[in-house]
Structure 1
Amino acid sequence: MTEIYWFQQDLRLRDNPGLLAHCRAEPLLLVYFWPANRPWCNLTGMGGQRQRFLAESLQSLHAELAALGQKLLVLQGPPEVGLAALVRQTRASLVGTSRSPGYYERHCLRRVAAALPVALKVHPGNTLFTRHDLPFELEQLPVQFTPFKDKVLGLPVAEPLPAPARLPAPPPFEFQPLPAAAVRASAALPIRGGAPAGQRRLRQWTQAGLADYKQTRNCLDGLDGSSTLSPWLALGCLSAREVVAAVQAHEQVQGESESSRWLVYELLWREFFHWRARRDDISLFRVGGAKGKARLSTFDPRNFARWCQGDTNFPLVNALMRQLLETGWMSNRGRQIAASCLVNELGVDWRYGAAFFEKHLIDYDVASNYGNWQYIAGVGADPRGGRHFNLEKQAQQFDGDGQFTRKWGGVRPRQPDFAVDAADWPLPPEMS
């Protein structure tokens, strides 16, 4: 009987339990739906570099599937409409997919299940642990990271599953050409989408970069010190369990170190945000988060536009935003600095910044992106109630010689300091 497997954030063959569960079907139709804009689509959508990385990842997956006699069908439109039509056309008996965190993702699965005339089988997503592995119910998930880490750090991480040695053939179907990338990778960050590229980076970095990671992880330029694995993790070209296995293999030869432990901690941060997104649901997008305690903010379109384009009075922030626009990437340290500027210096609602990052980041992940923005704004997991970075101190500490700021043209013409409201009336001094 024909089955359909719907790829989402699992664009890989290795360690893909959902795909493996459907490998006994005959025939098997493999499909992916190009992401639709969220409701605030004028701001989000996808920037050029994010589109490029996704298109390359799909093309890479298609090539890997072709080597096993399979094909990938990429469609536009709502999955609930497209999958129901495919079931009718192929007379499929089952549809499978993997779970992704997020309120809209959850409702998409509900709409798909309601529209299908057959069962929808949802498999675990790209996490280190399943929900049944966690030593607490999801409703009792620790609010902050440290108690979460303490509870899960000793849990065993399952070995990655091998890629399928064979795949069933696809049903007779008219497969359309895959989307092509409209832009090229930036020379400043020449990384390509797809599982093979992610595997190469993982091997290269564990051999040459992991030993010093604790000291280099705050480098602002990609590939200089960061692992830069997040783009492949976000699309599921790499699984989180594959990265842990590579770290463990490194430790067997080189021994456990502060650097190797730090990378595992960062994977646990990713894990924490995944389960927070599952628990918080729609609160992940609310101005006050799950706490419901919104901070005072505004929306000055000029300040927001200057931040987006890298034309503020903060040279390091400008450089970071210009790096994001050209490459689709920004270091974790850079994201904290840029977010603090928007929230604290410019007083803009944090959700506008999160949506702008969603548009451009090649490693966009709904749980990590919105979870980290809530952390900076003080409405999420931060025990201090928010982070306000001293931008001059950050520049001295992480770009002391100004090389990064010069490279990305961070010094811009000075903008007016006075603040005005939406009608261009100056605000009182105590509010400006």
Structure 2
Amino acid sequence: MNNLVWFRNDLRVQDNNSLFEASKNKENTIGVYCLDPRQFETNKHGFKKTEKFRAKFLLETLRDLKNNLADLNIPLYIFHDIPEKVVPELINKHAITNLFLQKEWTPDEVLINNKVKENINRTEVKWIETYDQFLFHPNDIPYVSFDKIPEVFTEFRKKCEKESKIRPCVSITAMPKENFFVTSNIIPSLEDLGLENFKLHKNAAFPFRGGETNALKRIEHYFFETENLSVYKKTRNGLIGESYSSKLSAWLANGSISARTIYWEVQNYEREICKNEDTYWLIFELIWRDYFKYISLKHGDKIFKLNGILNKEYEWKLNDKAFRQWTNGNTREPFVNANMIELQKTGFMSNRGRQNVASYWAKEWEQDWRIAAKYFESMLIDYDVHSNYGNWMYNAGVGNDPRDRKFNIKRQAEMYDAKGEYQDLWNKK
């Protein structure tokens, strides 16, 4: 048998179930990743679907994945082309009998899956999908079906914490050296993707490189070297520098590291160093991430609709001038401006900042939240479709916020940037 692992947002070697299943019997195994040109096109609003920050992080991740797979004698083909062309060609060329991939359910990914299926002989190729981006596996949650997922996070969290267990991580050993060999396969550059090369901004709060190796280094540093995890809840609303939060979100988003790996490392930390409310809070945030994925599974395409999962109607506006002011940091709120300029210059923004700029756009200006969500998709290094749209719905009042709150931006600035240091850092022209 010949196996193909189609990598998407599961760009890791450790705790990767598709890779684990493919390599279990020591059969011939190869991997593929497609840098789909459609992901880098300019949309009708005038910005690209994926901008340079996340693209650079992705290319670094692919380089690392290629090296880590090579250590296991598994070659990785990387193509700047569409999957429905690449995957069938690889299947034919290498007489693939099993295709392994992470289970996806959002419209773009499902459409591509269907196009690939149309172009391969399904009777000769076994299609093996695995849910592999969760902390709590879908088969282990205490709900008989996704439509039973509660609309309030706290109810979901408490029930899962009480009745579900986190699965152990899986690992693979090296394949035989006679496994397939790739003669040459060059990873494209940013310029190849139609993006400009750039230097890291000196004030970037996310100065890290992509890839599983760097994700594991970050855990080692943030957990065990500095013991910053012991104060995570106290510092997580910070705004400046790399240490105020774990910064694991970007590696989680493209699957360089699994939520399970982080969970078990927290357990190790609690045994060896300290167990307190702060260490638990990182797991709490991982459960939030899971929750938005389950909300997406439950509600499907509604997470992308203007009225959200609540079918709640507001008088939304869409003003091009307002959008330019918001994205360029030219509003009447210095705190909003600083956050938006940080995003524009670095591809990153704190959790506290994201909530405030979203509330300002959707609640103060009452502008269509979906264009802002697309802008975040374009700019954020750590973009994750479920968390992004889940949070935007939440802040726009059409999602899972039972209180439909609106932020007092000036009060928030006073609480989290009392001396104005963050605003001074980014509002200097």
Q: Report the TM-score, using the length of structure 2 for normalisation.
A: 0.91
Q: Could you tell me how far 1:44 is from its partner in structure 2?
A: 4.1
Secondary structure, counterpart of 2:427 in structure 1: coil
Aligned to 1:228: 247
The residue type equivalent to 1:82 in the other structure is V
Over the residues paired in the alignment, what is the CA RMSD in angstroms?
A: 1.9
Matches of 1:171 and 1:201, distance apart in 2? 32
Q: 2:142 aligns with which of 101, 110, 135?
A: 135
Q: Structure 1, residues 186-240: CA drift from partner, whole Å, max 9, x if none?
A: 3323200000100011111112211011110100124231110000000111100
The residue type equivalent to 2:198 in the other structure is V
Q: Structure 1, residues 316-356: CA drift from partner, whole Å, max 9, x if none?
A: 11111111122211111110001011112222100011000
Farther off after superposition, 31-40 or 308-317: 31-40
Q: 1:311 aligns with which of 330, 338, 355?
A: 330
Secondary structure, counterpart of 1:231 in structure 2: helix
Aligned to 2:43: 41
Change in CA separation of 1:399 and 1:29 when aligned onto 2, cut-off 3 Å: same
The residue type equivalent to 1:108 in the other structure is I
Say whether the 8 Å CA contact 1:126–1:239 is kept in structure 2. Answer: yes
Change in CA separation of 1:166 and 1:174 when aligned onto 2, cut-off 3 Å: closer
2:418 counterpart of 1:403 = no
Change in CA separation of 1:298 and 1:167 when aligned onto 2, cut-off 3 Å: farther
Number of matched pairs: 410
Aligned to 2:29: 28
Aligned to 2:390: 371
2:361 counterpart of 1:342 = yes
Aligned to 1:243: 262
Question: Where do residues 17-416 of structure 1 align in structure 2 (5 Å cutoff)?
Answer: 17-23=17-23, 24=25, 26-35=27-36, 36-37=38-39, 41-42=43-44, 43-117=47-121, 118-136=125-143, 137-154=145-162, 155-166=164-175, 171=180, 175-181=184-190, 182-187=197-202, 188=204, 189-207=206-224, 208-384=227-403, 386-409=404-427
Secondary structure, counterpart of 1:46 in structure 2: coil
Farther off after superposition, 274-283 or 190-199: 274-283
Change in CA separation of 1:317 and 1:91 when aligned onto 2, cut-off 3 Å: same
Matches of 2:305 and 2:22, distance apart in 1? 37
Q: Could you tell me how far 1:68 is from its partner in structure 2?
A: 2.6
Secondary structure, counterpart of 1:122 in structure 2: strand
The residue type equivalent to 1:147 in the other structure is E
The residue type equivalent to 2:175 in the other structure is R
Secondary structure, counterpart of 1:190 in structure 2: coil
Say whether the 8 Å CA contact 1:213–1:226 is kept in structure 2. Answer: yes
Matches of 1:388 and 1:375, distance apart in 2? 11
Q: Could you tell me how far 1:25 is from its partner in structure 2?
A: 5.2
Change in CA separation of 1:115 and 1:290 when aligned onto 2, cut-off 3 Å: farther
Aligned to 2:193: none
Say whether the 8 Å CA contact 1:52–1:184 is kept in structure 2. Answer: no
Matches of 2:83 and 2:103, distance apart in 1? 14
Change in CA separation of 1:2 and 1:212 when aligned onto 2, cut-off 3 Å: same
Farther off after superposition, 81-90 or 100-109: 100-109
Secondary structure, counterpart of 2:358 in structure 1: helix
Aligned to 1:7: 7
Matches of 2:249 and 2:241, distance apart in 1? 11
Q: Could you tell me how far 1:166 is from its partner in structure 2?
A: 3.4
Aligned to 1:428: none
Q: Could you tell me how far 1:75 is from its partner in structure 2?
A: 1.5
Say whether the 8 Å CA contact 1:234–1:365 is kept in structure 2. Answer: yes
Say whether the 8 Å CA contact 2:230–2:274 is kept in structure 1. Answer: no
Secondary structure, counterpart of 2:30 in structure 1: strand
Matches of 1:14 and 1:185, distance apart in 2? 28
Unaligned runs of 5+ in 1: 413-432
Farther off after superposition, 233-242 or 276-285: 276-285
Secondary structure, counterpart of 2:400 in structure 1: coil
Change in CA separation of 1:294 and 1:107 when aligned onto 2, cut-off 3 Å: farther
Farther off after superposition, 210-219 or 106-115: 106-115
Matches of 2:413 and 2:321, distance apart in 1? 24
The residue type equivalent to 1:204 in the other structure is H
Change in CA separation of 1:380 and 1:260 when aligned onto 2, cut-off 3 Å: same
Matches of 1:259 and 1:169, distance apart in 2? 48
Secondary structure, counterpart of 1:37 in structure 2: helix
Change in CA separation of 1:165 and 1:2 when aligned onto 2, cut-off 3 Å: closer
Matches of 1:380 and 1:169, distance apart in 2? 52
Say whether the 8 Å CA contact 1:2–1:27 is kept in structure 2. Answer: yes
Secondary structure, counterpart of 1:408 in structure 2: helix
Unaligned runs of 5+ in 2: 191-196
Q: Report the TM-score, using the length of structure 1 for normalisation.
A: 0.90
Q: Structure 1, residues 157-206: CA drift from partner, whole Å, max 9, x if none?
A: 11212243336655355543002343343332320000010001111111
